[in-house]
Structure formats: C-alpha cells, structure tokens
C-alpha cells in the first residue's frame, strides 16, 4: 500500500515501540518479514536491539539481505536505528566473521574497557549535527539530547557521511546520512519529543519525495 511505512522484523528488536510511535504520528506502519512486503511500502525503518551476528543471519534466512541492498541502492527512504545503523557496515567486533550489509565501509567497534566509561553507554547524551540544514534536523531542539543504549558503535571509513557526533570518551559518529538514508546509534523512539520530531521529519520528507 503506497504511503505506508515498513518496519523490518528480523526476529528481535524494539518493533512494537517503533510501530506505536509511527501510529501515534499518524502513519500507517506494517512489519516487513519477507521481500514481498517491501513492495507494499514506500518508507522503511530498521530498528534494532540485539546482536549483530544474529541479526544478519536472520536477514539472510528470510531472504532480506539482497532486497535491502537494492532498496538502499535505489535511494529509497531508509531510517536505521541502533542495530539498523550498525548492520550497514562491513563487520562488527561483536560478531567476528559475520558479514554486515557493507553499504558503507568501516567496522563496528566496542567502547574501550580501559577508558573508565560505563559500558553500555546508556542514557541521554548530546548529539551534535554536522549539518543543521539536513531535513532530519528540522525543528529539532538545539542543543539536542537523545537517548542511547549501546556498547558498540560504527567507525565509518568515509567521514563525509557522518551526520552527527556524540562524545563518550571521545567523539564517535552517532548518525550517518546519504541521499534518503539516515541511520543513527541513538533511539529516537525512546527520546520523547526530540526523537519524535526526527521520526516525523523522516516520514514526512520521505512521503513528500514519494509523491513528486
């Protein structure tokens, strides 16, 4: 159904919360469990709570890896959250030998145990957009605080895709953007009004693009 938002179901994740948020924002949302489901949507959200290796293995089992790569290559709207951000990269220290989608060069690494930081990084933290003119940041508070729960984070090879940085024992890429793809390490669905603004910006901008 044109105009609906698909939410990737890989057998884990924070699916119900994301579906509820999209419904609250007035968008019809449905789970994507097979390649055929992608034909019924025009926007895609990939939320994530779980392990990198288990996630990509389930994508492969459900035949979703190649359709996801084709979706992204076609510059169709994609919003990745936490694990849905990490799987875009080539590999993760969390799951040695597991191949990510490889959309971007780089590796997902763990925060250093010797840094004195509490791991996982959990709670509200400052997110610094690298380019406030991106549609995703429209109307977002400044300063912008969003909610994190993670022990791993991507290190992109190409710094040009970094859309925001956050400091936790040093700056890391808390989101990336390219075309109509946006993916982030923070959880907008858990970030109250600030996070809802980002999700609405994505859904509204993607819908406007689809209608042109």
pLDDT digits (tens, 9 = 90+) for 25-68: 999 999 999 999 999 999 999 998 889 999 999 999 999 999 99
What is the average pLDDT value for the chain, to the nearest integer? 92
Q: Which of 55, 153, 187, 200 is catalytic?
A: 187
Q: Tell the burial category of 165 from Cβ atoms under 10 Å away from its Cβ (0-12, 13-18, 19+).
A: middle
Q: How many CA atoms does the CB half-sphere of 203 hold within 13 Å?
A: 26
Q: What is the pLDDT of residue 212?
A: 37
Is 187 among the catalytic positions? yes
CB 165 within 8 A of CB 174: yes
Q: Tell the burial category of 166 from Cβ atoms under 10 Å away from its Cβ (0-12, 13-18, 19+).
A: buried
Its pTM stands at: 0.94
Q: Which of 82, 121, 150, 184 is catalytic?
A: 82
Which positions of the chain have pLDDT values less than 70? 1-3, 13, 115, 205-212
- In sequence order, the β-bridge partners of residue 157 are none
Is 90 among the catalytic positions? no
CB 189 within 8 A of CB 17: yes
Q: Which of 55, 184, 189, 200 is catalytic?
A: 189
- Domains of the chain, first to last: 5-211 (3.40.50.880)
Is 40 among the catalytic positions? no
């Amino acid at each position: 159904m044109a105009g609906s938002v698909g939410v990737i179901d890989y057998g884990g994740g924070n699916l119900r919360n994301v579906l509820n948020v999209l419904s609250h924002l007035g968008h019809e949302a449905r789970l994507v469990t097979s390649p055929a489901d992608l034909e019924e949507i025009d926007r895609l959200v990939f939320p994530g709570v779980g392990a990198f290796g288990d996630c990509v293995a389930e994508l492969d089992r459900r035949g979703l890896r190649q359709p996801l790569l084709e979706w992204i290559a076609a510059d169709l709207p994609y919003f990745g959250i936490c694990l849905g951000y990490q799987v875009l990269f080539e590999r993760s220290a969390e799951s040695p030998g597991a191949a990510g989608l490889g959309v971007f060069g780089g590796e997902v690494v763990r925060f250093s145990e010797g840094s004195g930081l509490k791991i996982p990084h959990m709670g509200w933290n400052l997110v610094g957009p690298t380019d406030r003119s991106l549609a995703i940041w429209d109307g977002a508070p400044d300063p912008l605080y969003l909610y994190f729960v993670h022990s791993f984070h991507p290190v992109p090879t190409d710094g040009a895709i970094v859309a925001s940085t956050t400091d936790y024992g040093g700056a890391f890429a808390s989101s990336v953007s390219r075309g109509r793809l946006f993916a982030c390490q923070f959880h907008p669905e858990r970030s109250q009004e600030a996070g809802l603004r980002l999700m609405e910006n994505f859904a509204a901008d993607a819908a406007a693009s689809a209608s042109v």
